[in-house]
Structure 1
Amino acid sequence: MPDGFDPARDLRHIGEGSPFPRGATFTGAGVNFAVFSAYATKVEVCLFDERGETEIARIALPEYTDEVWHGFIPNLGPGTRYGYRVHGPYEPDAGHRFNPNKLVLDPYARAHAGSLRWGPELFGYELGHPDADLSFDNRDSAPLMPKCVVVDSRFEWTQKDAVRVPWDRTVIYETHVRGYTMRHPQVPEHLRGTFAGLCADPVLDYLRHLGVTSIELLPVHTFIDQSQLLDKGLRNYWGYDTLGFFAADPRYFSEPRVEEFKGMVDRFHAAGLEVILDVVYNHTPEGNELGPTLGFKGLDNASYYRLMPDQPRYYINDTGTGNTLNLSHPRVLQMVTDSLRYWATEMHVDGFRFDLATILAREPHGFDDGGGFLDSCRQDPVLSSVKLIAEPWDCGPGGYQVGGFPPGWAEWNDRFRDTVRAFWKGDEGMAPDLAARLTASGDRFNKRGRRPWASVNFITAHDGFTLADLVSYNERHNEANGEDNRDGHGDNRSWNCGAEGPTDDAEVLALRARQQRNLLATLLLAQGTPMLLAGDEFGRSQQGNNNAYCQDNEISWVDWEGRGETGEQLAAFVRKLLRIRHQLPVLRRGRFLTGEFNEELGVKDVTWLVPGGGELMPEQWDDPQLRCLGMLIDGRAQATGIVRPAGDVTLLIVLNAWHEPVDFVLPEVPGGRAWTRLIDTEAPDAEALPAHLAGEARTVPGRSLRLYALEAEGEAARVLAALERELMAVK
C-alpha cells in the first residue's frame, strides 16, 4: 500500500470519481476506479497489502452512471493491489452468476501480481453438489486469486515515432517471449525468458542480420495454467487463455515493472523492427457453466458472454473452450477496442494478430464482414493505421473465412501452407493450386482493392510441426502432452524422407536439408507477406511434437547451441533469400499477378512454363503428374500509368518436385541477353553465378528449386550486379 495512504483518514473521503476511463487510474492525487456491470446491485473495491495476501479494506463504489460503477479514493497510488466483489442475482437460468464471495479481476487492470492457485473456492457453485452450477458457494476465493495492480504509466521513450514497415516489405517472424531466449547462451541467465532478454543486443543483432522486419509474439497478455495441465506437471506454454486484456503476464518480466515491456518495444524500434502481438479476444479461461469465477463471469455474465438464447444458463461455444466473448455487446466491444488502442498508443506496438478472428466478426446472424468489431477497426484512426492480421477460421458456423475479411486486413493463408507442403511432398495434381498460392492467392484476395500483402503466407507456425520436423516425421509424436498422442493435427502433409525421426543416414539427411530449402525458397519468393517460424531458419526441432502448447521446456525452447554446421548453412540460405526479396521489388508487387496480356506493353505479368520452354496450356494444367513448372515474372509488366520501380528485373522460378532431374529450357525474353542463377536449393553455397543463354536447356535436379534473373540493359542490370556482389558476401 502506498506510503501516503491512511485507511482511517482517506476512506472517509471517498469521492464519486468518474465513469471514464475504465480501470484503476492514478491521477496524482489518488486512484479513480470505474468498472462496467449492467446487472450488478453493488460493486466493492477490495484493497490488499503489498504482498496481495491480506484484505485491508472493502469500499463500495458510490456512483453508478450509464451502467458503470465508479469512485475515487484519495492518496492511493501506483503499486496498490486490488480486486472487485460484485453483488447481484445468482440466477444461472437467467444468465446471472453474481457471487460477492468471489474476488474478480478488473477487466481494465494494467498489471497483475501473483498467480492463480486452483481450488474449489474459485467456483461460484459447490463442486460436487447434486444441483451443480445451480448451487451457491460461500467460500472466499481471494487467497487463491492474483491481484490487480495500479500502475504509473510514465515512461521516457527514446523512439518517438512508430517504425511502420510498409506491408510490401514486411517479413514476419513468429516467436515466443520465453522460449526464444531460455537457451540463448549470450543472453544473461537472469534475463532469459523475459521481455528484457528478448531485446538483448545479441538477439536484436541476429534478427537484423537475418533480414526479418516484424516480430510477432505469441500471447503476452496475462493468462492462466489450466488445472488439468498442472496435474500432469505441464504448463500453458502458448498462452491462449487470456485473463487480462490490458496487462502483460507477470512471468515475462525480469522485474515486476510495466516499463520493461515498453523498454523492449523501444529497443526493437531503435533496431528498425516492428512488434506485433498475438491477441486472444474470443474467449476467456472461465469456461462453460461449470468453470471458475475469475472475472467476467462474476462481473456481468449476461453481458460479457454469448449465452444460448433459449437457455441462458449455457454458453455458445464457437471457440471450443467453453465460452465465447460477446462482442455484439457495445461495452464488450468497447473493452476490446480500448485494449487494442492501449497497446498501440500507450505501449507502442505496431500491430495485432487475432486468434480465431472469425469469432470477433460473428454477429448473432453469423459471420459479417461489416460487423461491429470489423467496422470499429476500419473507422478508428488508431487501429486502422496499425497492422491487423486475422486468423480467419474457427470451429463455429461459417467459421472458415480465408479471403473473407474486409479491406485493410491481412489474413493467415492456410491454403498456401497446405498446397506448398503437398507439392514438395510429391502429391499429385497440386500445380494449379500452387500457381494460385505463388501469386498471393488472388482467387481469394483479389477483390475490393485488396493488395497481395493481404495473404500472409506460411509453411509452419507455432501450431503444428516445425520445418525440420515437417521433413523428418510422417506422424505426430505428442506423447509428452499426456493425451495418448490423440491431440494435434492428423493431416500434416509431411514426409520423413525415408526415416521416421532422427537418423544417421547421409542420403536422408541431405534430402531433408534440400526439402527445407525448397520450402523456404517457395515461401520467400512468393507474392504476398511471408511469415517465418522462429528457429526454422536453422532447423529447430520439437521432436515430432506438432501441438507443443503445454511444453514449457526443451521441446519448445529454441536450441541455439544445437544448430550445428547444417543449421548455420540453412540460416545463411535464408539470409540470402531475404536479401533478394528486399532488393527486387518484382517479388513483392503491389498488384496481383494475373497472367493477363497487357496490350499496351505487349507483355504478361506472369507466364507459366513447361520444361520445354513453352507456355503451359489449359489441358496441361489438368495433368495430375505436372510436378515441374516455371514461373516467369516479367519486370516490364506494370499497370498503365504506373512507373516501374528501379531494379524491377525479370525473374524465372523453376520448381521441380519430381524425384528425378528435368531439363528445363530457359525462355527467351525481349531485351534480355542471358540468365543469371541466383538461387539453387541443390547447391545453396555455390559461389559462382554463371550466365546461361536464353533458349539453353539446364538440368534442374530432382526435388529442387532454382531462381534465375534476366540480364538486361539499364538500371535493372546495375541493380542485379549489385545484388550479385551482396549475395556473394552473405555468410
Structure 2
Amino acid sequence: MSPRGDAARGDRPPSKLLHHGLSAGRPDPLGATWDGEGVNFAVFSAEAELIELCLFSPDGRHEIARIPLRERDGDIWHVYVAGLTPGTRYGFRAHGRYAPEQGLRFNPHKLLLDPYAKKLAGRFRWSDALHGYRVGPARADLGFDTRDSAFAMPKAVVTDPAFAWGDDRPPRHRRSQSVHYETHVKGMTAQHPGIDRRRRGSFLGMASQPVLDHLNKLGVTTVQLMPAQAHLSERFLVEKKLSNYWGYQTIGFFAPDPRFLTQGEVWEFQTMVKRLHSAGIEVLLDVVYNHTAEGNELGPTLSFRGLDNRAYYRLAENPRYYIDDTGCGNTLNTGHPAVLRMVMDSLRYWVEVMHVDGFRFDLATSLARGPEGFDVDGGFVSAIRQDPVLREAKLIAEPWDLGPGGYQLGSWPHPFMELNDTYRDSVRRFWRGDGELMPELARRVLASAERFDHSGRAATASVNFLTSHDGMTLEDVVSYSAKNNWANGEENRDGHEPNYSDGMGAEGLTSNPEIRAARDRRKRNMLATLFLSQGTPMLLAGDEIGNSQGGNNNAYAQDNPIGWVNWDRPDTELMDFVSELIWLRQAHPVLRQRLFLHSRPRGTDGIPDLFWRKPDGSPPSDGDWHDPEWRALCIEIRAASTTPSYSMSDDVVFVVFNRGEAVDVTLPPPLPGSEWRWLLDTSGGAVPGTETRASVRVPADSVAVFDQSARL
C-alpha cells in the first residue's frame, strides 16, 4: 500500500503560529503579497489534502513555524499572516497520497518553492534528500523518503517589487526598424574591462555605460537576454564541477536569477531595464515555460511536482512517467487552467512590474501542443493573442521541440515572430560553396515568404540569424570544420549537427595570412547577407568583435572564458563594419519592409517591386536557378507592390551576392536624373559613395550594394 504523505509529528518544529495574527486571507493574487501590514499567501493544488506554510529564520537555516492553510477556495489554498514584512523567507509542504503509479507524488517531508515566488534566497545543494523517494536501484521512484529537504533548498522571499520608474517608457521600436542582439547577462559582462569588477556578471553590469555605449554604437534596438529567471544546474553537471551556464532549467518563473544579483534584490533587474530603455534599447526575455528543473520521474521534488504533479505536468498513459517533448525530462502542462494561468501571470508580471518589452519562447511548440497536436487556436496561443497587457509586447517563438510534429516553422499566427533556422543553414551553406544553393539564398533573402506570407503576417515575422547561443559563434563557423565540445565532458557527442562550418584550410587559430583574410571576408559576406535580407535580423553577442568559443557549439555548461564574450582583443574593424551595415539598413527602407516582395508590378508606376538578374543583366531562367556554375545573384529592390501610395518610397537598391570569381555586372538603367552609387563592397576595394555607370566589376567572394543618387 502506498504511504500517505503525513509528516511525522515528532519532527515538526515548535508551533509558533502567531494565533493573534492569522486570518483567512484571500485566494487572489497567488503567491505572497505584502500589503503594508502583513502578507497574504495563496497557492494552487487540486489534489493535496493539506498545505502548510513554512516560515524560516532570516538566514533561512531554521524553520520557525508551520501554518496550515485551512481556507480553500476551489483549488486555491490561502492564509493571511499579520506582521510579516518583505524579506520573510518561506516555503510550502503539501500532504496527500504518494502513489507514483497514479501520478501522485505528495511528500510533506520535502520543502516546496512557491511557484509564484518573486525572489529566491539561499543556496541550492544537491542531496538525495531532495527526492520524494529513497534513492536506490531497488524500487526506483516507488519508494518513499522521509528525510527533510529544507536544508538543501533555497527559500522563497516575500518581496515588495515597487520601484521608482519615473518617466520610463518602452522604446517600442517598429519591427521593421528592429535589430535584435542575443546575449547572456554574465557572458556579456564577465570579462569586459570597462565594467566595475563588482558588477561584472550581473544585471547592473549589463546596465553599465560601457555596455550601453557598445550597443548604441552598433545600432542595436533590442537586446534578447538568455534566461534571466531563477534556474538550477543539473546534478550530473555539478558532479563534473560544471554548471548550467545558459540557464534553461527554470525553477522560478517570477524570480530574477540570483546569480545575476550583486545585492540579492529585485530592483537590480528593474534598474537594468530602466537604463537600457533610457538608451533607447528594448529588453526581451528568453523564457522557458516548456519544462522545469524537476526532470523526469527520477528527478527531485522541488515545487510543482510536490504541489500537484498531475496538474503541472503532462503525464504518459502510465502516469508514473512524464511526456518529454523537450528533451529535459518533463513537459509543462499548459493545457491545464492553473498552469496556463501561471504562465500568463508570469508574462504579465514581467511586463507590468519589471517593464520588459517582450519574450522569446524556448521550444514554443511544446506550449501550443494540445490533445490533437500543435494547435495555434489552442489555449496558450489564444490566451496570449487576446491579452491586453501583452498586446504591445514583442513575441518570438522558437518554433520546434522534440515531440511529434514538433517542427512548426512558419505556422505561428500574428503577432508572433519566429526564429528561422533555415535562414542560418542556407546562408552558411551558400557562402561555404555548397552546390545549387541559389534558390535557397533567394528565398531566405526575401524573408522566407514561402513559409511566412500567409494570414496577414509581416515579413518581419522571420527572425533571421547566422548564429545563436545554441551553436558555433560566427568566428568559429569560419574557423572549424568540426565541433570541439570536449570540455563538456560528453566525449564530444553533444551539440548540434550539422554545423555547415568550414575552417578554410586550417582548424582553429592560424597565423596564415591568406586563410585569415579569407575568413574575415566570409564573415563580412555573411553579415552583409544578414542585414540586407528582408525580415528581422538577430546578431549573437560577440560576433561583431570576432569572439570564439574554440569550436564549442554547445557551451551550455561553460560558465568560464569558453562561454563568455572575450573583450581582450576585439576586432574593431569588424565592429565598425557591422555598425555600417546596420546604418545602411536603417537608411534604406526597402531593405526592411513590412510587406513581402513577389516581383509584382506596383500600382503607382507599373514597375515590379523586385527584379532577379544574372550578372549580364538578363533575368534567370528556370534552368539558371539550378545551374551549379551560376555564382553571382543580383537583386534590384523597390518598395513592395502592396505598399500604400501614401507611404511609397522612391528608394531603390541593387545588391550582388558573388560567391565565385570576380565578375562584370551590368547595372540596370537608373531613374532619370540619377546615377548608381556604390555603397558597400565587402572586399574593401570600392570607395563608398563612388558613382558608377552601366557596368562594374564585382570582386570575387564579395557582396556589393548600390543605390541611386541624384546626378550632380
* 1:607-686 pair list within 5 angstroms: 607-635=611-639, 638-639=641-642, 641-644=644-647, 648-658=650-660, 660-671=661-672, 673-683=674-684
**CA-CA distance at 1:232 after TM superposition:** 1.2
Please list, as runs of the form range in 1=range in 2, the aligned pairs for 1:87-236 lying within 5 A after superposition.
Answer: 87-236=95-244
**Aligned with 1:449: secondary structure?**
coil
Partner of residue 332 from structure 1, selected from 311, 330, 339: 339
| Equivalence for 2:491 | 484
Q: Say whether 1:590 aligns with 2:603.
A: no
Residue type of the alignment partner of 1:704: S
Question: How far did residue 672 of structure 1 move?
Answer: 5.7
Q: CA offset at residue 269 of structure 1?
A: 0.7
Secondary structure of residue in 2 paired with 1:72: strand
Provide the secondary structure at the position in 2 that maps to 1:319. Answer: coil
Number of the residue aligned with 2:6: none
Q: C-alpha root-mean-square deviation of aligned residues, in Å? A: 1.5
CA contact (8 A) 1:97 1:124 kept: yes
Matched, 1:699 2:701: no
Answer yes or no: is the 8 Å Cα contact 1:672–1:710 preserved in 2: no
CA distance in 1, matches of 2:385, 2:86: 35
Q: Which runs of 5+ in 1 are unaligned?
A: 1-5, 718-731
Measure how far apart 1:617 and its partner are. 1.9
Amino acid at match of 1:586: V
For the Cα contact (< 8 Å) 1:43–1:69, is it kept in 2? yes
Q: Which residue of 2 aligns with 1:506?
A: 513
Q: 1:621 and 1:92 mapped to 2: Cα distance? A: 58
Q: 2:35 aligns with which of 27, 30, 35?
A: 27
Deviation at 1:12, TM superposition (A): 3.7
Give 1:489's aligned amino acid: H
1:272 aligns with 2:276: no
1:38 is aligned to 46
Is the contact between residue 277 and residue 351 of structure 1 (CA under 8 Å) also seen in structure 2? Answer: yes
Could you tell me whether the CA contact under 8 Å between 2:45 and 2:77 is conserved in 1? Answer: yes
Q: Which residue of 2 aligns with 1:721?
A: none
Task: Describe the shift of the 1:9–1:301 C-alpha distance in structure 2 as closer, same or farther (beyond 3 A).
Answer: closer
Kept in 2: contact 1:426–1:627 (CA 8 A): no
2:168, 2:278 within 8 Å by CA — same for their partners in 1?
Answer: no
For residue 310 of structure 2, the aligned residue among 280, 302, 309 is: 302
Q: By how many angstroms is 1:497 displaced?
A: 1.3
> Corresponding residue for 1:562?
569
CA drift of 1:161 comes to 2.2
Instruction: Map Cα deviations across residues 134-176 of structure 1 (whole Å, 9 max, x no partner).
Output: 1100000000000000001211113332211111111000000
Displacement, 1:397?
Answer: 0.5
CA contact (8 A) 1:225 1:235 kept: yes
Tell me, in whole angstroms, the C-alpha distance in 1 between the residues paired with 2:310 and 2:616.
66
How many angstroms apart in 2 are the aligned matches of 1:640 and 1:560? 43
CA-to-partner distance for each residue in 1:533-592, whole Å, 9 max, x for gaps?
A: 0010111000000000000000111111221xxx10000001111111112111111210
**For 1:35 and 1:348, how far apart are their aligned partners in 2?**
25
Amino acid aligned to 1:690: T
8 Å Cα contact 2:103-2:319 kept in structure 1? yes
Shift of 1:132: 1.3
CA deviation after TM superposition for structure 1 residue 619, in Å: 2.2
Q: Is the 8 A contact 1:638 1:644 kept in 2?
A: no
AA paired with 1:633? I
Distance 2:493 2:299 in 1: 24
The superposition leaves residues 247-288 of structure 1 with CA deviations (integer Å, 9 ceiling, x where unpaired) of 011110111111111011011111110000000000011111
1: CA distance between counterparts of 2:563 and 2:632? 36
* CA deviation vs aligned residue, 1:172-212 (integer Å, no higher than 9, x gap): 00000011111111100000000011111111111111101
Q: In the alignment, does 2:338 pair up with 1:317?
A: no
Larger deviation, residues 10-19 vs 455-464: 10-19
Shift of the 9–359 alpha-carbon distance from structure 1 to 2, 3 Å rule, reads: closer
Q: Residue 675 of structure 2: SS of its match in structure 1?
A: strand
Match of 1:341 in 2: 348
| CA displacement at 1:223 relative to structure 2 | 0.4
- Rounded to whole Å, the distance in 2 between the matches of 1:600 and 1:364 is 49
Identity within the alignment, %: 52
Q: Specify whether residues 640 and 120 from structure 1 end up closer, same or farther in structure 2 by C-alpha distance, changes over 3 A only.
A: closer
Go from structure 1 to structure 2 and tell me whether the alpha carbon gap of 1:120 and 1:29 turns closer, same or farther (over 3 Å shift): same
Q: Select which of 284, 293, 297 maps to 1:289.
A: 297
Contact 1:129/1:135, CA 8 A, preserved across alignment? no
- Aligned partner of 1:459: which letter? L
Distance 1:570 1:410 in 2: 28
Kindly provide the CA deviation profile for residues 278-335 of structure 1, in whole angstroms up to 9, marking residues without a partner as x: 0000001111111110110000000000001x31111101011110000000000000
For residues 98-150 of structure 1, what are the alpha-carbon distances to aligned partners after superposition, in whole Å with 9 as ceiling and x for unaligned? 00000010000000001210111000000115121111000000000000000
Matching of residue 690 in structure 1 with residue 690 in structure 2: yes
Deviation at 1:638, TM superposition (A): 4.1
Say which SS state the counterpart of residue 575 (structure 2) adopts: helix
Asked if the contact 2:313–2:322 (Cα under 8 Å) also holds between the matched residues in 1, the reply is yes
**TM-score normalised by L of structure 1:** 0.94
| Mapped partners of 1:666, 1:8: distance in 2 | 84
- Scaled by the length of structure 2, the TM-score of the pair is 0.96
Could you list the structure 1 runs, at least 4 aligned residues long, displaced by more than 6 angstroms after superposition.
Answer: none
Counterpart in the other structure of 2:461? 454
- Paired letter, 2:645: I
Question: Are the aligned partners of 1:159 and 1:269 in contact in 2 as well (CA < 8 Å)?
Answer: no
Rounded Cα–Cα distance in structure 2 between residues aligned with 1:96 and 1:688:
68
Deviation at 1:640, TM superposition (A): 6.4
Give the SS at the match of 1:262: helix
AA paired with 2:213?
D
**Per-residue deviation, 1:595:** 1.1
Runs (5+) with no aligned partner, structure 2:
1-13
